[in-house]
Structure 1
Amino acid sequence: MAIDGAPGAGLTTEQLAEEVTHLATPDLLKTPFGDFEFFDGVPKAESVPSIYDALDLLRGIDAFLTAVPGASLVAMRRGLRSAGVDAPDKIGFTDPRANSGSMFLTPNTETTYGTTFLDLKAWGPTVIEAPPQSLCVVDDFWFRYVADMGIAGPDKGAGGKYLFLPPGYDGERPGGYFTYESPTYANWVVLRALGGVPAMKQTRIYPLAEADAPRENTFINIAAVLQNTVHANDFSFFEEVAQLVAEEPVTALDPERAGTLAAIGIAHGGPFEPDEHRRALLDEAARTGAAMSRALVFAPRDPGAYFWEGSSWKNAFVGGSYEFLRNGARNLDARTQFHYFATVITPAMAHAQVGAGSAYAYTAEDADGQVLDGSATYSLRIPADPPAKNFWAVDLYDTQTRSLLQSTAYPALASLSGTVQAEDDGSYVLWFSPTAPEGKESNWIPTIPGKSWFPMVRLYGPLEPWFDKTWTLPELVKES
């Protein structure tokens, strides 16, 4: 039997009128995009184009901030192709190590890299034979984690055969492989072999169809080949993203981000051909998005981006999640922060373990909170007993390109080199200036007058004092 409830008292006429004020749009609305005019909530004809311009600008900014990961890998592939790494069986490597000649997002100068791109559309199922004692990662074309190989992977550093399947694959899955299915056809492969170049050259990449007689691989030393692997900050950014969307299946991207891109004209199965008016709006959106990304990198407002209270030293992986998740939600600012100035997504980087992997800290300001100036002289004290099982290093980067500062081929200092001099108390005082302070040449990295720069401190095999924060980095001190 249904029981009807007694009606409530409802709102008074005055209360209802007050509620309407919360629902209504005034006839003249002043916004950051200009004044919009309405007649009783209906936009006037002369305001409609401005409103849609504002919407396109907002969509474009959002698209920039959310699509940075994909654009970054489109630019990476383009740069590698220009260096001759234009097929999966061609592997680029840096001998002896990465240098400042080309533009790569924050590489280190301490280890030898190897890299290529898989093409699962052209090759189908593809095998990678990872070398022993290596640290190798595969990320999809939207820069999402697919697999670790080597020490952090299931072969545990013994070396192993990995099979990568294209999206939607429903064919044979033979045994004897560590098997992964990627959401995208293109996949970025990053190789680091602890045995250096000879060990790197033990890598093999070939189609599964050739498993009985694998092809030979070509290894190309890209260390001295000038290339740009960094995405654009103007309208051409969206052309990079459009290329990715056109190549990959609809299922490669979640509907929400795909919808954001479609709203500005980037959709699967159709050309990206904005008219001149929308092109100008998207150029402004890209430049604005880049400005916001730089704030997220160099001056994040999330307290979790800082290692120690009151310190300027920042964490590249805010929250320690390789998926940038926090309390079940995507940390959008953290994702943009990382991808705007760094590369490689793997749990091993995002959440280092005691004695394994590596830890990173960076800053772009001195002890007074001022932006670092390449014309000035700064010092940084690395306290005694740096908590690194293997070694520590400091690399300098260009704030514009987020690539190695081109003040010298290797703008870095590392304890591994054996040339950095310690103080009597076991600490290390490092110097940064256009010319070396007298007697400090062994502990000096040159900077460039008229340019800013930022350092990144790396601890390889971070130890407990790093994690419990009993060892901390002091601020950079401006000496002159």
Structure 2
Amino acid sequence: METFIRFTGRTFLTLTLTLAVGYSVAVHAQPVDTHIGPVTMEGELPAHESIAKLYAELDYQQATQSYLWALPLVSYAQWQEEFQNKLGARSGDLMVLTSYEDKLGVITANATTPYILGFVDLNETGPLVIELPPGPTAGGVGDFWQRAIIDMGETGPDKGKGGKYLVLPPGAQPPGDADKYYVAHSETMNILVGFRVLDPDPAKGKALVERFNMYSYAERANPGKTKLLSPGGKQWSGTQPRGMAYWERLHQIIQKEPVNERDRFYMAMLASLGIEKNKAFKPSAEQRKALEEGAQMGELIAKANTFAKRFPGAQFWPDRQWDTVLNIAEPSQRVAFYDQLWERSAWFYEAVTNTKGMVSKTPGLGQTYLGAYTDSKGKWLDGSQNYRLHVGPNPPAKQFWSMTVYDIDTRCLIDNPQRKADLSSRQNLKKNADGSVDLYFGPKVPEGFENNWVQTVPGKHWFSYFRLYAPTQAYFDKSWKLDDITPAN
């Protein structure tokens, strides 16, 4: 019998006993310390009893990353499901959201203007014709990864003059009369069609909406009329579901959609977790544990990635707490050498939709968004505290500006007894002598500033968007600056 002892730079040794009959017996080395605890080793290899532990960690990591990757897809799938099952909207119907109650289900909705939107399943319709009437509108068509397919209205090719659009499903070729339309190609079978009416006159806005129509290209000779619906006071929520419901919604929408080339590795991760196209979702106990834990950690990371952004340049002014909330370089989510996974995850955790108008760099067109998640001292905004925001004279907005308060948990309009979430230049606000405005946020109304106040909810945190509609040059060159939200007595 021979004995060989090998020392390494670490504080463990491996002892191999070579027996006369030619067999070797490996003695366990010192365990490797990891963030999941010690991993027992056999020489350079994990011991067999460690394999299950390592695979459990792999599945947990896959679930966490898949959660973050799927946020935009699950968001739209959830929204579509709620429209269908709670509000009775079918593919091709338009939901008109005008009241405060209507919009409580929309993630970071604009409380100032109405939304008109609907989901269309191109599996059912084939190529889709959209007739947009002339008038002041902003909107577009997006696929289910929330990539803009084409803008409509003032930032679209019709430039507010209206026109006919044709949306083609994946792989479809343009028809012979494509020159009659603004043609757009979708990479998903399900799409969102939506727009906002920018005319402040409700009667004119209503008339414009009623002239909108969309229908299958195959029915163009005798099209029907788009059905307009309203939530009618029914509660609904477009917020991504939590826990296993998140994965159930993801599995459901994957069955309806083609797989993009860029997503095939993520589809491999999902297959390891029991989520596959053309297969039933029946996760094992081990897979279910990984999915539940991955969804929990994924959302925690999503919150950090959203409300404490670390993207270069996310902070709009270096001496202010305001962030540029939409950091996607262009609606395709693609830059030179990668797709913007983390920027995408942040935006679609806290918001929905993306159009070219939302990232326009042309003064006087589109809109822009600044987000505040903390006060001037860097502390989370607390619903039990009082705050003030000073808006200096001449905000750089050709149309109007608005300040909207959202619930941090749902990312929807704050659900307060006041039934009000926004303050805007379209409202009758009390102004200072120089034209500036002081806005107030807190659980109790500040005396003398009732019109300038949004009620917050004790026990809940909140965040806010400051929107500029048709931002002017002073926004882009940063010569106008917005104060931080400051604690107030």
What is the TM-score when the length of structure 1 is the normalising length?
A: 0.90
Q: Contact 1:77 / 1:117 at 8 angstroms: preserved in 2? A: yes
What does residue 308 of structure 2 align with? 299
C-alpha contact 2:97 2:115 (8 A) present in aligned 1: yes
Q: What SS class does the counterpart of residue 436 from structure 1 fall into? A: coil
The superposition leaves residues 164-198 of structure 1 with CA deviations (integer Å, 9 ceiling, x where unpaired) of 12222247443311222211111011122334222
Partners of 1:206 and 1:103 in 2: CA distance: 26
Match of 2:51 among 48, 51, 71: 48
Percent identity reads: 31
Q: CA deviation at 1:48?
A: 0.5
Cα pair distance change 1:168/1:101, threshold 3 Å = closer
How far, CA to CA, are the matches of 1:343 and 1:446 in structure 2? 24
The structural deviation recorded for 1:400 is 0.4
- AA aligned opposite 1:111: T
Distance 2:194 2:174 in 1: 27
Corresponding residue of 1:121: 123
Counterpart residue number, 1:187:
191
Question: Which secondary structure does the structure 1 equivalent of 2:49 belong to?
Answer: coil
Distance 1:273 1:75, change over 3 A: same
How far residue 78 of structure 1 moved from its aligned partner, in angstroms, is: 1.1
Deviations 1:218-259 (A, max 9, x none): 111236331111111322211111111111123486323333
2:420 equivalent in structure 1:
410
Q: Which portions of structure 1, spanning 4 or more consecutive aligned residues, are displaced by more than 6 angstroms?
A: none
User: CA RMSD of the aligned region, Å?
Assistant: 2.1
Alignment partner, residue 351 of structure 1: 360
The equivalent of 2:170 in structure 1 is 167
Counterpart position of 2:25: none
Q: Per-residue deviation at 1:464?
A: 1.0
Post-superposition Cα deviations, 1:424-475, rounded to whole Å, max 9, x if no partner, equal 1221100011111111101111111111111110111111111111111111
Instruction: Find 1:472's aligned residue among 436, 460, 481.
Output: 481
SS in 2 for 1:300: coil
The letter for the 1-side match of 2:419 is: A
Q: Superposition pairs for residues 161-240 of structure 1, below 5 Å?
A: 161-170=164-173, 172-175=175-178, 176-194=180-198, 195-222=204-231, 224-240=233-249
Q: 3-state SS of the aligned residue for 1:49?
A: helix
Aligned to 1:5: none
Deviates more, 1:129-138 or 1:203-212: 129-138
Q: Is the Cα–Cα contact under 8 Å of residues 99 and 410 in structure 1 kept in the other structure?
A: no
Is contact 2:103–2:111 with CA below 8 Å preserved after alignment?
Answer: no
Q: 1:179 and 1:321, CA in 2 relative to 1: closer, same or farther beyond 3 A?
A: closer
Aligned AA (1:159): G
Residue pair 1:94, 1:223 contacting (<8 A) in 2 also: no
| Contact 1:191/1:200 (8 A) holds in 2 | no
CA contact (8 A) 2:420 2:455 kept: no
Deviation at 1:366, TM superposition (A): 0.9
* Residue equivalent to 2:37: 34
For 1:253 and 1:85, the matched residues in 2 are separated by 34
Cα displacement (A) at 1:137: 1.2
TM-score, with normalisation over the residues of structure 2?
0.89
CA deviation after TM superposition for structure 1 residue 303, in Å: 3.6
Query: Which runs of 5 or more structure 1 residues have no equivalent in the other structure?
Result: 1-16
Distance 1:88 1:56 in 2: 36
Residue in 2 that maps onto 1:10 = none
Question: Relative to structure 1, is the Cα distance of residues 223 and 317 closer, same or farther in structure 2, using a 3 angstrom cutoff?
Answer: farther
1:59-98 aligned at under 5 Å gives the runs 59-95=62-98, 97-98=99-100
Distance 1:303 1:99, change over 3 A: farther
- Describe the SS at the equivalent of 1:65: helix
* Mapped partners of 2:309, 2:439: distance in 1: 26
Residue ranges of structure 2 left out of the alignment (5+ in a row): 1-7, 13-28, 199-203
CA distance, structure 1, for counterparts of residue 102 and residue 132 of structure 2: 27
The DSSP-based 3-state class of the residue aligned with 1:161 is: strand
Residues 1:341 and 2:350 are matched in the alignment: yes
Task: State the partner residue of 2:134.
Answer: 132
Higher mean alpha-carbon deviation, 130-139 vs 370-379, is at: 130-139
Query: CA 1:183 to 1:150, structure 2 compared with 1: closer, same or farther past 3 Å?
Result: same
3-state SS, counterpart of residue 46 of structure 1? helix
1:276 paired to 2:285:
yes
Pairwise CA distance, 1:99: 4.1
Superposition deviation, residue 98 in structure 1: 4.7
Q: Which moved more, 1:256-265 or 1:468-477?
A: 256-265
Structure 2 contact 97–103 (Cα < 8 Å) conserved: no
CA displacement at 1:83 relative to structure 2: 4.4
Q: Partner letter of residue 104 of structure 1? A: V
| Equivalent residue, structure 2, for 1:452 | 461
1:436/1:36 CA distance change after superposition, 3 Å: same
Q: What is the CA–CA distance in structure 2 between the aligned matches of 1:173 and 1:192, rounded to whole Å? A: 31
